[in-house]
Amino acid sequence: MNSEAVFHFLGVCVVLSPALLLALFGVTSLIDRPIGERLMARATQTMVMIGLFSSIAILGLMLTLDIRYVPIELGNWVVIPEQHFHFHLKFIFDRLSIPFCILSFILCGTIGAFASRYLHRESGYNRFFVCYAIFLLGMIVSSLAGTIETLFFGWELVGLSSALLVAFFHERLNPVRNGLRIWSIYRISDAAFLIAALMLHHLTGAGDFDGLMGTGSWPDGHATISEQHALLVGLLLLVAAAGKSALVPFSGWLPRAMEGPTPSSAVFYGSLSVHLGAYLLLRVSPILELSLTLRLAVIFLGLISAIFGTLVARVQTDIKSALAFASLTQVGIIVVEIGCGFRYIALIHIIGHACLRTLQLLRAPTLLHDYHTLENAIGSHLSQKPSLWVRVMPRRYRIRLYRFELERGYLDILCNQLIVHPFLSLFRMCDGLERRWTNFLSEGESRKSDQIKPHTESLEEYL
């Protein structure tokens, strides 16, 4: 068996292992025959280990044979000859995708082992692991995507599982409301991603990253589009990355995501999902090199997000929200590193921060108990020295800054006033026009649906 066949076999194992896990959990749930907790935990462990060992084997072979780029072609799945469009399923193994893929398997495996005990006898145990399998498949597809369409497919799976797990405790109002808010912000991010993908198809004739980056593997590729096109496409991708990684001005959904179970908070908003926007910027980093304006925009957005996360994290009253904004700070610094061209430093930063934040979030449920135990042992509260800000900044300015931090930068209020309410007004106006037109066509008779108005909460209450 030659090396190409070995790479193809191992690559298919990497992608197929989470797909089979999702098929097992999904089919048994659809036919209302969910498998037991122990079997579900063992299946998760087995598939994660298969994918992890296959990824490590590919990495070992690439280092041994001094190969930096291995494509896995799975053919065209959708072909539209009239529009000259084809959906090409392709996965690539290079110096960016392999570390991120291995990181995804390691952290998802850790979260799977933790969740199998943390959610023991929980009524939504099976539902959690179905969403977990969707997320794992989405992360692996996104990590190994060789085309913009494949990356968007994995991107959507990650977003879907995120919203579902935030609303995991659906018997309560707040998780459902926050899940809807996150899903709404993801729609803005996905819309920008889709427009950028269509533009890349128009400019390069395909969504293949090879055609976009030209010769050379990551990070040595050179984009083949003009500076003006790179600026426009790059800004759209920056909006997509900002929505997925909760950068300013989309940071308001990040504390809302903590409504989900602790395992999902750790794997989504502490380690993997929150870094997916930064991964997108790393993947298309040759585009950033074409435009100084685009690089400055990336640096500015990352710097503002890092400062915002640092300030807001200081006034949070619960540990999960504080860790969420601490993650925002690090993601903002990573985005600054990408904008400055420090690609390997950004990749190492992602790996280290993801591992650390996963450990902290998994430790969060027992942290308060240990803190109280320590206070009881010493017989008093732990002393804290006043910070430099307290000693230097006047009191009135500290009060204003505290109010700004406590309100989380007023981002939710601005989002509601500038985006949500105008859209609702537009929809109400369209609904009124539709009713008038329907009444005119029906000769003044109201629709039956107008006479039955079920008691539902308004959209404002959810958003």
Q: How far apart are CA 197 and CA 149, in angstroms?
A: 7
pLDDT-derived band at 247 (thresholds 50, 70, 90) equals: very high
Inform me whether the pLDDT recorded for 67 exceeds 80. yes
Structure tokens of 84?
């000259």
DSSP 271: I
Assess contact for 200 and 207: CB atoms under 8 A: yes
Can you give the pLDDT at residue 451? 47
pLDDT-derived band at 443 (thresholds 50, 70, 90) equals: low
Structure tokens of 410?
């007023």
Closest CA to 254 of 170, 328, 316: 328
270 versus 112: the higher-pLDDT residue is: 112
Spell out the residues 6+ positions from residue 374 whose beta carbon is closer than 8 angstroms to its own.
382
Query: How many structural domains are present in the chain?
Result: 1
Q: Which residue segment(s) compose the domain that 356 sits in? A: 3-368
Q: What rounded mean pLDDT belongs to the chain? A: 86
Assess contact for 110 and 102: CB atoms under 8 A: no
Closest CA to 35 of 116, 111, 109: 116
109: in domain: yes
408: in domain: no
Element (H, E) at 92: strand 85-93
388: in domain: no
Can you give the pLDDT at residue 292? 94
Assess contact for 231 and 294: CB atoms under 8 A: yes
Average pLDDT over residues 349-360: 94
390: in domain: no
CA 118 to each of CA 169, 257, 294: distance values in angstroms, whole numbers, following the listed order = 15, 19, 44
Which of 243-257, 322-336, 397-411 is predicted with the least confidence, judged by mean pLDDT?
A: 397-411
Tens-digit pLDDT profile for residues 265-316? 888 887 899 999 999 999 998 899 899 999 999 999 999 999 999 999 988 8
Please, what is the angle between helix 148-166 and helix 276-283, to 10°? 170
Q: How far apart are CA 133 and CA 20, in angstroms?
A: 9
Can you give the pLDDT at residue 80? 65
CA 283 to each of CA 66, 125, 222, 338, 356: distance values in angstroms, whole numbers, following the listed order = 21, 35, 12, 10, 23
Q: Give me the percent of the chain exceeding a pLDDT of 70.
A: 91
Tens-digit pLDDT profile for residues 165-189? 999 998 888 899 888 888 888 988 9
Average pLDDT over residues 109-138: 94
435: in domain: no
180: in domain: yes
Spell out the residues 6+ positions from residue 90 whose beta carbon is closer than 8 angstroms to its own.
71, 72, 73, 74, 145, 146, 147, 150, 208
451: in domain: no
6 versus 456: the higher-pLDDT residue is: 6
pLDDT-derived band at 119 (thresholds 50, 70, 90) equals: very high
456 versus 356: the higher-pLDDT residue is: 356
Average pLDDT over residues 211-230: 76
Can you give the pLDDT at residue 460? 52
Average pLDDT over residues 62-76: 85
Can you give the pLDDT at residue 267? 86
Q: How far apart are CA 92 and CA 90, in angstroms?
A: 7
Structure tokens of 228?
């003006």
Can you give the pLDDT at residue 390? 74
Can you give the pLDDT at residue 83? 57
Average pLDDT over residues 223-240: 91
DSSP string, 328-369: HHHHHHHHHHHHTT-HHHHHHHHHHHHHHHHHHHHHHHHHHH
Can you give the pLDDT at residue 164? 93
pLDDT-derived band at 454 (thresholds 50, 70, 90) equals: very low
Q: What pTM value is reported for the model?
A: 0.88
Assess contact for 209 and 283: CB atoms under 8 A: yes
Average pLDDT over residues 203-208: 75
Highest mean pLDDT: which of 3-12, 94-103, 395-404?
A: 94-103
Assess contact for 32 and 47: CB atoms under 8 A: no
447: in domain: no
Can you give the pLDDT at residue 452? 43
Can you give the pLDDT at residue 346? 96
Can you give the pLDDT at residue 457? 46
Structure tokens of 22?
């999702």
Highest mean pLDDT: which of 175-179, 256-260, 327-331, 372-376?
A: 327-331
Can you give the pLDDT at residue 166? 93
Can you give the pLDDT at residue 387? 73
pLDDT-derived band at 330 (thresholds 50, 70, 90) equals: very high
Tens-digit pLDDT profile for residues 335-351? 999 999 999 999 999 99
Spell out the residues 6+ positions from residue 372 whose beta carbon is closer than 8 angstroms to its own.
none
Which amino acid does the sequence have at 19?
A: A
Q: Which residues pair with 80 in a beta bridge?
A: 85
Can you give the pLDDT at residue 194? 92
DSSP string, 371-436: HHHHHHHHTSPPP-PPPHHHHHS-HHHHHHHHHHHHTGGGHHHHHIIIIIHHHHHHHHHHHHHHHH
